[in-house]
Chains A and B, each alone.
Chain A
Amino acid sequence: MEELLSDFVAETQEGLEALANIVVALEADPSDRERLDELFRFFHTVKGSSGFLNLPRFEKLSHAAEDVLSKVRAGESVPDAAIISAVLAIMDRIAELCAAIESGDTLDRKDDEVIIAALRECVAQSRGEDGASGGEGEGGTAVEREDAQARLPGAARTIRLPLMLIDQLMNGVSDMVLARNELSRKLRVTEPEPELEAAFERLSSCIADMRDTISKTRMQRVDRLFMAIPRMVRDLSRELGKKIELVLEGGDVEMDREMVEAVLDPLTHIVRNSIDHGIEMPAERRAAGKSEAGHLRVSAHQSGSQIVIEVADDGRGINTEAVVNKVIAAGIISQQEVAQLSEQAKVDLIFTPGLSTASQVTAISGRGVGMDIVRANIERIGGVIALTSEPGRGLTITMRVPLTLTIIPGLILNAGGINFAIPRSAVIEILHDNNPTVSVSRLGGGLTATIRSSRYSMIELEDVIGMPMLERQGPRSLMLVRSTGGNPYILSVASVENHEELVIRPAAPMVMAAGIYAGMTLPDNGQPMLLLDAGGIAQVAQLPLIVETADAFGSQGREDAVADGSYAGLRYIELSGEERVVRLSLVERVEDIPLSQFGVSAGRPYVTLGGRIVNSSQAVGESDCQPGTREVTCLRIRDDLHELCYPIRMVLDIEDVSAELDMSARHGLVAGLVLLNGRQVEVVDSMALLALAGEAEVRPDCGVRPTRCVIGDANDPWNREILAPLLRQAGFEVIWGGEEAHAERGDVLLLTADDGDPPETPADAPIVRLRRASQPGGPEDDSIYRYDQDALIGAIAALGNGTVAA
């Protein structure tokens, strides 16, 4: 019984959440039969269950609502604002009762009667106005009820599970992944055995699938986040006498359920603010030449490993004057300092702690919770919040939050011989200390780094953790990190090693007590690692807290440039010698790639990266390598769909590039010229660059079929289980020797060294020979070691005259 009751409460609460939107939509369009039916079904279900569970108060409330709705269904009354408000009141009451059952409280029974009476009143009134006659036979309602039941939607079956169980499952899968990694390490040292490896490969893919599935159980549609908004907008707009058109977009985006919870409060606050402070009264809007109804758009979309949630209104925007005056009145910054600020910096002052711009504190958003709390909450979960205000035209608030709380992209760095992780979101920029734009000075034991005329405090991580500074070759890395509530500062580490997706767990209290850690993680190598807390390090190192505006004097030029719409650009030298800039956000990373991984197939240059084939912007040769190596420096360019490898001579620096071109000269990849440090530099056209990356998309239309690989021995398990899947994954078509299809011109024949007779092929069919041994048998042995994925795929792509259907 207990269990039935808690199920009932949970189901009812869920139903209520989902229905709030429907009721509001129904008000807008009273003729919407489907919504009406849905609403009716909900009350009907609640009534049925509460009767069964002997909850008379639920039964009474839902019966009253059902009654009214059935009249609406029968066309006897129209759901006007009063009726909808009354129905919402019933829903609220049911929610309160649910909460009361959960907490064991009691609620006054009389209130139920009042609410029900209010509902009946509304109906009577609306019927009076419509002049519709009574005639509600009990029989009619009964028919309707059965009707409703028959039309219950055939939704997917679901069950409820405690979250704990899912977490345990998740841990189990993590264990499995680690066990798999260990097994794979052990297998690598033994002689390769095809059958064992095939089985292992299968196990691996099963585990990977399972991991994906389990992670999905933690995901929730953003809809859940949006559920409360329509109701809130309706209630607030009525209360304030404003008209608001709400648009919700991207509810089907999924994010971790913990994340949904963490974002809920900040989002609610922002929406409230928009309605209360942003959108004007109808008369005011009319006077300003805007439509009477304010527009409020809440949207979500996924961008890489982040979810972007945007709240945009077309209200009055942020009154920067008012914000500035408040900040000055509060004595946070001085008049002179304000004068130095750019417009965007003034807008950002809204995040100053303890600030509210509303001239009078209203019941809606004047609760002492300001944008500073919103920002702190978003940053706590590794997110970023940004404002774009157009005075008189509206405000857009963008929140970027990671997909999950528990898995974050992290940078692995080394200091004093120990590896640490740091959330990538905390790192603004990484430079080597031998970069000409950096100068480090030491004064009275304190370190200051000046980067492009901005001064930052600098901390050596070894100093904070009390480890010796190890002698090592090469430059140290300087990371510009942002710390919650403080200024960005420079963290100097021995090296930045790697970039990995990390599963973060809380660390034990005695570790957290050190004040510089945010958690711990177990990376793929199985060696536990600590996650650094950038803010904590700044505190432990007792960095001076300079008010952000104070150092704006030094970085004035930079701040202004940002405000004028500049972007960070990567300055580099092309293989052909020109100096160009490319938008930094397009560059995923810079990598040195061995020359042997480059190739040309069907006139198209490509590069093999980790078993995949990626377009290369141009073919490279020996002369393009860095002196003394056989590697080519490449920019890895990526947007949400495409990937491109862009070989260059060398990277020069990161610059602030004005979005405005000094001279527009569109030619091929070049969009125009800008002046950087007094010299003209060509700016790469982002569109043209991405078009280059996307070219693979058009290939299937050209009628070129993918390269077919004919595998000699169809009976060899290794060929079947490992080679064929690998080739298919890389985009090749695989057929088996000896099958109905004979090899044709252009196909590539794959043979393992000791296979039997090759199948029938045109005499000139190119052959790739694989060998089992890792070392070649002799100087004339041109076979490829069969686990050398990159070489294998490269060879096939180079020999085949088809293409890769990637």
Chain B
Amino acid sequence: MNRLYLFAHIGGTAVAISTNEVDAVVRLNELSVVPGVPSHVAGLAALRSRVLTIIDAAALVNAQQDKPGGALVRDGGSHAIVCEIGGHGYGIVVDRVDDIQTVDSTPLPICGRIDPAWQPYAQGVIESEGRPYFVVSLSSFLDSCLNAQAA
């Protein structure tokens, strides 16, 4: 299998995202705050005439540990992966974007006992330049976003 992946870090964890899901990577400027929603919805940002809902992925994943993630986003200058799911534009905030690379191998099953926080998201592991990355899907973040709110 020959697929292009975007390699990034979310909350200090290395992840790989299939580029099929990714529209663009942008640097965020000022965000408009959205009051009344959980803290992992970091706000709204304008990308040309589109309005993106910005999701702080680290805050979402680490919700159980109660680590504040919002501060990181509001400094501005952080990167977000832009995607369109269900007709809405989203920006998923990441710590940093490392690379875009083709990976020839199929994802490997996860070995070892991983942090339960990552359990819902990690679909497998792929290796790039000898380092392992979790394979994640952006839509899984959004799903869990909604589930967290429904609960």
Q: Which of A153-205 contact B (CB under 8 A)?
A: 171, 174-175, 177-179
Binary per-residue interface labels of chain A (515-538) against chain B in the complex, 1 for a CB within 8 Å, 0 otherwise = 110001110001111100000000
Q: Does B1 contact A (CB under 8 A)?
A: no
Is residue A418 contacting chain B, with contact meaning CB distance below 8 A?
Answer: yes
Interface size in chain A (residues, C-beta < 8 A) = 33
| Residues of chain A within 8 A of B35, CB atoms compared | 416, 418, 465-467, 514
Which of B33, B48, B142 is within 8 Å of A179, CB to CB? B48
Contacts of B46 in A (CB 8 A): 178, 522, 526-528
Which of A179, A466, A516, A528 has a CB less than 8 Å from the CB of B32?
A528
A178 touching B49 in the complex, CB below 8 Å, given contacts A509-B146, A510-B41, A510-B146: yes
B-contact 0/1 string along A220-256, CB 8 Å cutoff: 0000000000000000000000000000000000000
> Smallest CB-CB separation from A465: which chain B residue?
B35
* Secondary structure call for the A interface: mixed
A469 at the interface (CB under 8 A from B): no
Q: CB-nearest residue of chain B relative to A179?
A: B48
CA of A527 to CA of B51 in the docked complex: distance in angstroms? 9
Chain B nearest CB, measured from A233 CB (Å): 39
Q: Which listed residue, B33, B49, B88, touches A509 by the CB 8 Å rule? A: B88
- The chain A residue sitting closest to B40, CB to CB, is A510
Interface centre among A507, A520, A528 (most CB of B within 10 A): A528
Within 8 Å CB of A513, what residues of B?
37, 146, 149-150
Residue of A nearest to B52 (CB): A528
Do A528 and B33 form a contact, CB below 8 Å, given A171-B49, A174-B49, A175-B49? Answer: no
Which residues of chain A are near B134, meaning CB under 8 Å? none
Q: Judge if A699 is at the interface, Cβ distance under 8 Å.
A: no
- Residues on B with C-beta less than 8 A from A528 are 32, 44-46, 51
* Residues of chain B contacted by A465 (CB below 8 angstroms): 35-36
- The answer for the CA separation of A527 and B149 in the assembled complex, in Å, is 26
Q: Which residue of B lies closest to A461 (CB)?
A: B35
The total of chain B residues at the interface (CB under 8 A) is 27
List chain A residues, Cβ under 8 A from B33.
418
Q: Does B23 contact A (CB under 8 A)?
A: no
Which of B36, B53, B86 has the most CB atoms of chain A within a 10 A radius of its CB?
B36
How far, in whole Å, are A506 and B89 apart by their CA atoms in the complex?
11
B98 CB–A CB distance under 8 Å: no
Contact present for A178 and B37 (CB under 8 Å):
no
Residue A505 interfacial (CB < 8 Å) = yes
A526 to B31, CA, bound (A): 11
Q: Is A511 an interface residue (CB 8 A)?
A: yes
Cβ contacts under 8 Å, B48 to chain A: 175, 178-179
Residues of B within 8 A of A521 (CB): 51
| A464 close to B (CB within 8 Å) | yes
Most-contacted residue by chain B among A467, A508, A513, A520 (CB, 10 A):
A508
Q: Taking CB as reference atom, which chain B residue is nearest A464?
A: B36
Q: Which residues of B contact A (CB under 8 A)?
A: 30, 32-38, 41, 44-46, 48-51, 53, 55, 86-88, 90, 142, 145-146, 149-150
Q: Which 6 A-B pairs have the closest CB atoms?
A: A465-B35, A528-B44, A174-B49, A508-B53, A514-B36, A175-B49
> Mind listing 6 A-B residue pairs with CB under 8 Å?
A171-B49, A506-B88, A510-B146, A521-B51, A527-B30, A527-B32
A-B contacts besides A510-B41, A510-B146, A526-B46, 6 pairs, CB < 8 Å = A171-B50, A178-B49, A465-B36, A510-B55, A510-B145, A530-B32
